[in-house]
Amino acid sequence: MSGKLKYYQFVLGCQMNKSDSERIAGVLNDLDYQQVDNETDVDLIIVVACSVRQSAIDRIYGKLRQWNKIKKQRPLVTAITGCLLPGDKKKMKTLFDLSFDITELAELPKLLQKKSSQLFDVKEYFDLHPTPESAFQIYIPIMTGCNNFCTYCAVPYVRGREKSRTSRSIIIEVKEYIDKGYKEITLLGQNVNSYGLDLPNELTFPELLKEINDLPGDWWLRFVTSHPKDMSDELIDILATEKHLCEYVHLPIQAGDNETLASMNRKYTVEHYTSLVEKIREKIPKTSLSTDIIVGFPGETPKQFKNTVKVFKSLKFDMAYISKFSPRAGTVAANLADNISPHEKKKREKKLTKVLDKYAVKFNKQYIGQTLTVLIEKSVKKDNHFELSGKTRSFKTTRCNSQKDLKGQFVNIKIAKATAYGLEGVIDGN
């Protein structure tokens, strides 16, 4: 190909989409396309869509208007993949030049070029090699899809049923990145606790973690997401004992009221969730605990919301992703009356954020005076120093200044200041 074609990816949503975008980059870079980080002068734009919230879909329509204007002036191919509900998919198909399911990524070259390409023998989505954005952090999908059908959630409709990747293929990929010097591996799945159950004689999730943990080197291991109904004692034990696994548990509760949980089809109770947290904190005293929560679920009464606030106060999460309910077409909850006003949803979001902030500050202040290892993710050059920021094992964003650009390295930082959102300190003995 003479002169590389340029492409830009517009990626929305969760880490699973980010990981998919790195696999898309792998396919396109093999075709001699070059990835750029802005839309000017590109030949191809690929959207990795997210249907989990309406706001992401609205952003795509906004962008499309701009791209259609560009198309009138010069050739530009627009493509869309990712998570799309059937209604959105139908519309997008007519608005984009091409659309494909992420599981058909190996077919992308065929779609882009009429001629054959070196990639046609690659058939499995999991086997496509990513081109990671980072040289030290990588997201590795271990399964796709979900069987749980929480009533608000688009994922089972847009990603299909659970499909695990073989442990062999996962371990080979993890090893490859550790050998290249990667410092942080994050395993991805919508419900990692049911990993392997769809494959004959496959390892369970705790067994997989143990195998991966046995790989030597100085690196950290994380995973998302655990479903509270499936989190086993075995998994908690492994989190407590295996050195590569970080002291950070993300366990979405979604609501702190049993009736709301039942109408969300979450299949656990507040009591069960609380007992899990007690076990986790007993076995991993230093752990950080984060959660996801939805406010304003259809029919959520003031009393039910109060129960959620109560649970927030008693469990003292130090991190939480709070979302206002938004109906997703085709899900069960979209047929329920979305009867909590936007104003009330906002109010409930603010109330929970206030409670969260109080405990987050308290939790984060315990680190003051301690020296923590931080994986530096960003380094910004200032006049005579670099401003660094990264994450601790407990997933706390931490800043410090340095004479050197230490991006991608583990740095010991003595913590001097803590807020609800992160830590600050000075380099300790590097």
Under the rule (CB under 6 A), what is the footprint of ligand SAH? 52, 152-153, 155, 190-191, 225, 227, 252, 254, 292, 294, 323, 325-326, 328
DSSP per-residue codes, 288-324: EEEEEEEES-TT--HHHHHHHHHHHHHH--SEEEEEE
Stretch that binds ligand SF4, among 122-130, 144-152, 404-412, 415-423 (CB under 6 A): 144-152
Stretch 172-211 residues interacting with ligand SF4 (CB under 6 A): 190-191
d(CA 32, CA 3): 9
Give the nearest distance from C-beta 227 to ligand SAH in angstroms: 5
Residues 228, 258 contacting (CB under 8 angstroms): no
Q: Which does residue 325 bind out of ligand SF4, ligand SAH, none, counting CB within 5 to 8 angstroms by kind? A: ligand SAH
Q: What does the buried/exposed string (b/e) look like for 39-63 if buried means 16 or more CB atoms within 10 Å of the residue's CB?
A: eeebbbbbbbbbbbbeebbebbeeb
Q: Which is nearer to ligand SF4, 148 or 379 (CB)?
A: 148
Q: Which is nearer to ligand SAH, 153 or 423 (CB)?
A: 153
Tell me how crowded residue 8 is: count the other CB atoms within 10 A of its CB.
Answer: 18
Site string for ligand SF4, 225-244 (x = CB under 6 A): --x-----------------
Nearest to 304 by CA among 258, 269, 264: 258
423 DSSP assignment: E
Q: At what angle do helices 233-241 and 270-283 cross, to 10 degrees?
A: 30
Where do the DSSP E strands lie in 59-117?
A: 77-82, 98-99
Nearest to 268 by CA among 248, 280, 251: 251
Q: Which is nearer to ligand SF4, 134 or 232 (CB)?
A: 232
Q: Which does residue 52 bind out of ligand SAH, ligand SF4, none, counting CB within 5 to 8 angstroms by kind? A: ligand SAH
Q: Which does residue 149 bind out of ligand SF4, ligand SAH, none, counting CB within 5 to 8 angstroms by kind? A: ligand SF4
H helix intervals, 31-85:
54-73
Q: Which is nearer to ligand SAH, 52 or 64 (CB)?
A: 52
Q: Is 263 in the site for ligand SF4 (CB under 6 A)?
A: no
Q: Is 155 in the site for ligand SF4 (CB under 6 A)?
A: yes
Nearest to 247 by CA among 190, 293, 288: 288
Q: Which does residue 292 bind out of ligand SF4, ligand SAH, none, counting CB within 5 to 8 angstroms by kind? A: ligand SAH
Q: Is 395 in the site for ligand SF4 (CB under 6 A)?
A: no
Q: Which does residue 323 bind out of ligand SAH, ligand SF4, none, counting CB within 5 to 8 angstroms by kind? A: ligand SAH
At position 412, the amino acid (one-letter code) is N
Q: Which is nearer to ligand SAH, 28 or 154 (CB)?
A: 154
From 44, 153, 158, 212, residue interacting with ligand SF4 (rule: CB under 6 A): 153
Q: Is 156 in the site for ligand SF4 (CB under 6 A)?
A: yes
At position 387, the amino acid (one-letter code) is E
Q: Which two tokens stand for residue 351?
A: 């109330």
Q: Is 13 in the site for ligand SF4 (CB under 6 A)?
A: no
Q: What angle do CA 323, 329, 331 make, to 5 degrees?
A: 75
From 16, 150, 294, 356, residue interacting with ligand SF4 (rule: CB under 6 A): 150
Contact set with ligand SF4 (CB under 6 A) = 146, 148-150, 153, 155-156, 190-191, 227
